[in-house]
Structure 1
Amino acid sequence: MGKFKKIVASGLASFMLMTTAPVAIPALSHTTEVQAASLGQSLVDYGKKFMGVPYVFGGTTPRGFDCSGFTQYVYKNTAGIKLPRTADQQYKVGTAVSKSKLVPGDLVFFANTYKPGISHVGIYAGNNMVLNATTKQGIALVSLNNSYWGPKYAGAKRVVEYYDGFKDVTKNDPTYNAIMTLTDKNIIQGFDDYTFRPDQPVTRGQAAAIINRVLQQKPVVMSHFKDVPKMHRFAVDIAAIREAGIINGFPDKTFRPDEYMSRTEMAVIVQKAFELKLGNAGAASNPYAEIKNSYWAYEAIVTMSAIDKTGIFQTEKYYGDHRATREAFSAAIYNAMNAK
């Protein structure tokens, strides 16, 4: 992991970060940001809210569920995934997974309960437990070692295989590892609708918070900026990052936490925060035709390509004037954390 730097910004780069921030844009929507959990765990957490709801044959609502009605309801309302209606039909979807590889959210199937063949389904909840609709207890957790359910285990299917963390980030995405690593470490978070929103731009306040979740710096003074009250959700992070010289304020004593950040500004602050050095070899391999070596942020931008482990900065143009998205910012932080 790169060595973190606490320096006071100076010279042209510092001036540009203070004076060339994007035009003010209204704050982001108020959809709640939450600690990212896997979508599978979110299915389990949502399903547990119905524990005790009675079993009703043919039931598909919280007034009463049968087994497949329960799994269908949970998948639809948590992940927006429409499962077939019956257990035997649900057994035909998804990817088969062995019992030893079960993860929360997997569909677990049982055979020969009230009829021959696949006849019951539940949601794997971890620790060898299955959340399902039972005739006696209603929605309840049962053990796969249970004397009744154990012998009737018939297999499992993973329906959310490509949505291991968020509905809009798949395992095929080049930034998947970066995003999941940062969310697992609580450095960046997802939203309460189980999306990551990779194309959503990053604000100056969010950038300060994300970086300080890595640096863990504590500010000496909390009241640097007139538009960041002490009760602001990013107040501590903004003050700490300002004192470290990583993101500065403006001449009018504002920080403008809701303004979006450009990709050029992203490169400069990430380089500062992690004390990244391009070196002669990197300087000779500038892939961006529009970035000349006389440009004030040349080294920071070319560094984004030099340390890139995701591939999203391996492009012919850098597009420095574009807004830094949550995906790009996550990749930049991930790359910096793993830079040697």
Structure 2
Amino acid sequence: MFVTLSPLASNKTEAASATVGEIITAYGKKFMGVPYVFGGTTPKGFDCSGFTQYIFKNAAGISLPRTAEQQYNVGKAVSKSDLQPGDLIFYANTYKKGISHVGVYAGNNQVLNATSSSGITLVSMNNSYWGPKYAGAKRVITDQNWFVDVAKSDVSYAAIKSLTEQEVIAGFDNLQFRPDAKVTRGQAAAIINRVLGMTPNQISHFRDVGASYYFAKDIAAMKESGIIKGYSDGTFRAGAEMTRDEMASIIKRAFNMTPTQSAAASVKYTDIRSTHWAYDGIIAIASSDRTGYYAGTKYNGTKDATREAFAVAIYNAMK
């Protein structure tokens, strides 16, 4: 799975793929030149472990102990030949005996290091001072490519993992999936068409969606297939958020889902009736759910559809 800025999240240009370690080191490089301050833990001044603790926490939500000696006792030991960006690099016998200094491997044989002479800087692994004091490396990043806000214990984990591995959905360049973020009509068109791969006959169907719009081809494909329709005033309103009811109706049409009577009987929602306009879609989503995300007695159809809810629904529909 690669972490990019996703069309399901935004209509901005996609960011380059990056591992957690690369994101941490890129974030750390923003503080190049910040002076060394013994005991420093903020961008006003860092000591070595204060710097590593700060960037791991703020770039990836990873908590490290306070001192270099304590940080040496966490993670998995790795050899020099197996170093990856984001690995902690330890040094011994600098200002005291034993483990006394820590930096972050930045790739290309360089360490992002809080030095007393130059502050935060890049130092070669072969540096005449630091090289001989090298004491080992530890990897505290257990999954180089996973989201910091999606736990493996979450019921949506399998769905999000599957869709990201298939490059159907992606996250943001700060290693966040943002499961609670809302889904817009334009984003829904883009992610559905990533699965269906439809090519429209023409690009411009709506007066508010130009041919150069980021989701223009996807929106046109949704229009021509009848999956997501426009409004009577000739607009599509790509930036409008959708409700869970609307999401259910759209996904049902996209994947030709026709729930059976037994499927309907298995759904125990008390806030939806068979006469509701999105009833079949809601039943289709709930009865096909293999994650447990849509379990319960309420569907809450008038609430906004979130990235998590949409991802789980797409995952189930694809199966």
Q: What's the TM-score, normalizing by structure 1?
A: 0.71
What does residue 318 of structure 1 align with?
299
Unaligned runs of 5+ in 1: 1-27
Letter in 2 for 1:99: V
Q: 1:289 to 1:62 in 2, by over 3 A?
A: closer
What does residue 196 of structure 1 align with?
177
Q: For 2:77 and 2:315, how far apart are their aligned partners in 1? A: 32
How far 1:191 moved relative to its partner?
A: 3.6
Q: Residue 113 of structure 2: which of 110, 125, 133 is its match?
A: 133
Q: For 2:288 and 2:257, how far apart are their aligned partners in 1? A: 9
In the TM superposition, 1:124-203 aligns within 5 A as: 124=105, 131-133=111-113, 138-140=121-123, 142=125, 152-153=135-136, 156=138, 158=140, 165-203=146-184
How far 1:220 moved relative to its partner?
A: 1.2
Q: Residue 263 of structure 1: which of 244, 248, 254 is its match?
A: 244
Q: 1:333 to 1:105 in 2, by over 3 A?
A: farther
1:224 aligns with 2:205: yes
What does residue 196 of structure 2 align with?
215
How far 1:249 moved relative to its partner?
A: 0.8
How far 1:317 moved relative to its partner?
A: 0.9
Structure with more relative contact order (C-alpha pairs < 8 Å, separation 6 or more): 1
What does residue 234 of structure 2 align with?
253
Q: Residue 97 of structure 1: which of 56, 64, 76 is its match?
A: 76
How far 1:215 moved relative to its partner?
A: 2.0
| Percent of residue pairs bearing the same amino acid type | 50
> Over the residues paired in the alignment, what is the CA RMSD in angstroms?
4.1
In the TM superposition, 1:290-329 aligns within 5 A as: 290-329=271-310
Q: Residue 55 of structure 2: which of 56, 74, 79 is its match?
A: 74
Q: 1:275 to 1:110 in 2, by over 3 A?
A: farther
Q: For 1:151 and 1:83, how far apart are their aligned partners in 2? A: 20
In the TM superposition, 1:28-39 aligns within 5 A as: 34=15, 37-39=18-20
SS of the equivalent of 1:123 reads: strand
Letter in 2 for 1:225: F
- 8 Å CA contact retained: 2:28, 2:55: yes
- 8 Å CA contact retained: 1:71, 1:122: yes
- 8 Å CA contact retained: 1:37, 1:165: no
Q: 1:179 to 1:149 in 2, by over 3 A?
A: farther
Q: For 2:10 and 2:204, how far apart are their aligned partners in 1? A: 26
How far 1:102 moved relative to its partner?
A: 8.0
Unaligned runs of 5+ in 2: 1-8
Q: 1:190 to 1:111 in 2, by over 3 A?
A: same
SS of the equivalent of 1:44 reads: helix
- 8 Å CA contact retained: 1:46, 1:74: yes
Letter in 2 for 1:119: S
What per-residue deviation string (whole Å, max 9, x for no partner) do you get for residues 98-128 of structure 1? 538987534344545664322232335679x
Q: 1:141 to 1:271 in 2, by over 3 A?
A: farther
Q: What's the TM-score, normalizing by structure 2?
A: 0.75
- 8 Å CA contact retained: 1:112, 1:152: no
In the TM superposition, 1:50-129 aligns within 5 A as: 58=38, 67-79=48-60, 83=64, 86-91=67-72, 96-99=75-78, 105-112=86-93, 115-124=96-105
Q: 1:306 to 1:70 in 2, by over 3 A?
A: same
- 8 Å CA contact retained: 1:91, 1:157: no
What per-residue deviation string (whole Å, max 9, x for no partner) do you get for residues 243-301 of structure 1? 12110111221111121111111112112222334345423312213333343432321
Q: For 1:107 and 1:82, how far apart are their aligned partners in 2? A: 13
Letter in 2 for 1:230: A
Q: For 1:303 and 1:66, how far apart are their aligned partners in 2? A: 56
